[in-house]
Amino acid sequence: MGKTVLITGASQGIGAVMAVTFAKAGYNVAINCYNEHTLKNGGVGTAGECRGLGVEAECFVCDVSDFGACEAMTKAVVKRFGGVDVLINNAGITRDGLAVRMSEQNFDDVIAANMKSVFNMIRHVGAVMMKQRAGKIINMASVAGVYGNKGQINYSASKAGIIGMTKTTAKELGSRGITCNAIAPGIVESPMTQVLPDEVKEQMRSSTSLKRFGKPVEVAETALFLASADYITGQVIVIDGGMGM
């Protein structure tokens, strides 16, 4: 049947671009959608685009912050495709605000959606990969988790936590032939950045050495590279155009 990639939060944005990128490389694609709305408004179209490239693709609705729901989705994906060769933990949200003004709910929501979801998926898909004695896990971190970012104590904490989880998973599962790496994007073109005022966008661009935003496909191609790299594990690949130099 060929190799299968499972991508969380893949109905739109970077996740959807990843799905198509992996489909072009011949992977069957399991597309996780948060709910029925994201399924209909993105997931279905992304799956159709992947199928148009000659591979099998299917959407799976699941709130990845829910431990039990992740277990059920993992079983459904394995039943449909026979296994999981690559797991990309991409799902995430933002609830920005200064630390001294942030509500407890906004902090908890981001930790659950961004970080606990990664544990949930590694817990269940990792068990599948251990039986296979092979697998690639790729976690989406962020430069906010590397450098910190004002107004994002919750988001920065979740992404820093993902980096720690990545290194621990690499150490725990390496003997079973499983690698685990993280990608930490900087400023990437998205609907969110498109609506920013021109002066804000210019400030963001000027903070990079390359003087431009990153492209979603550049992140997706890095994930595809890590999916084929057998001797790279426990690493954080920063894609920020030189912002951190």
pLDDT single digits (tens) 29-38: 999 999 999 9
Percent of the chain past pLDDT 90, that is, above it, reads 89
pLDDT single digits (tens) 166-186: 999 999 999 999 999 999 999
pLDDT at 245: 77
User: 34, 147, 155, 231: which is the annotated catalytic residue?
Assistant: 155
Percent of the chain past pLDDT 70, that is, above it, reads 98
pLDDT at 201: 78
pLDDT at 203: 84
Domains (range + CATH), the chain: 4-237 (3.40.50.720)
Quote helix, strand, coil % in the chain, to nearest 5.
50, 15, 30
d(CA 155, CA 141): 10
pLDDT single digits (tens) 127-158: 999 999 999 999 999 999 999 989 999 999 99
CA torsion angle 147 195 242 168 (round to 10): 40
pLDDT single digits (tens) 92-102: 999 999 999 99
Grade residue 196 by pLDDT with cuts at 50, 70 and 90: low
Instruction: Respond yes or no: is residue 155 known to be catalytic.
Output: yes
Contact 26, 51 (CB under 8 A): no
Grade residue 194 by pLDDT with cuts at 50, 70 and 90: confident
Residues with Cβ within 8 Å of residue 150, at least 6 apart in sequence: 98
Q: Is pLDDT at 241 greater than 80 in this prediction?
A: yes
pLDDT at 190: 79
d(CA 188, CA 213): 5
